[in-house]
Amino acid sequence: MVQPNDGTVPRRELYARPVKDRIRITETSCCGAYEWACQGGQFLILRARCPEGYEETGRGLYRQARSVWDLLISAHENEHRRENMISGAVKSRSRRPRARRDPAA
């Protein structure tokens, strides 16, 4: 089972699916970066890594894996908010005010 090493950053390992073992993906993060999965009675979080395949983290019982999922999703959503705030600030600074037309002309 992979657990967070310091409570904030989960360790990741290369995911290798056993040949005949099914995996169920039941949730996906907003942009598909993380997937909540169940396999062989254990829960885990997958993250795509091109071209290697997938990394896994948080493998274990529901409660343990779900706490890692909640931590990752919270950090992931905050990252998107920061990106949106930064890109919004850059866009607002780069916009020039339009010249107004005189309606009487």
Rounded to whole angstroms, the Cα distance separating 51 from 55 reads: 11
> Is 46 buried (19+), middle (13-18) or exposed (0-12) by CB count in 10 A?
buried
Stated pTM of the model: 0.65
Give the H/E segment covering residue 64. helix 62-94
Read off the pLDDT of residues 4-54 as tens digits, 9 standing for 90 and up.
Answer: 445 566 777 777 666 678 889 999 998 889 999 999 889 999 998 877 788
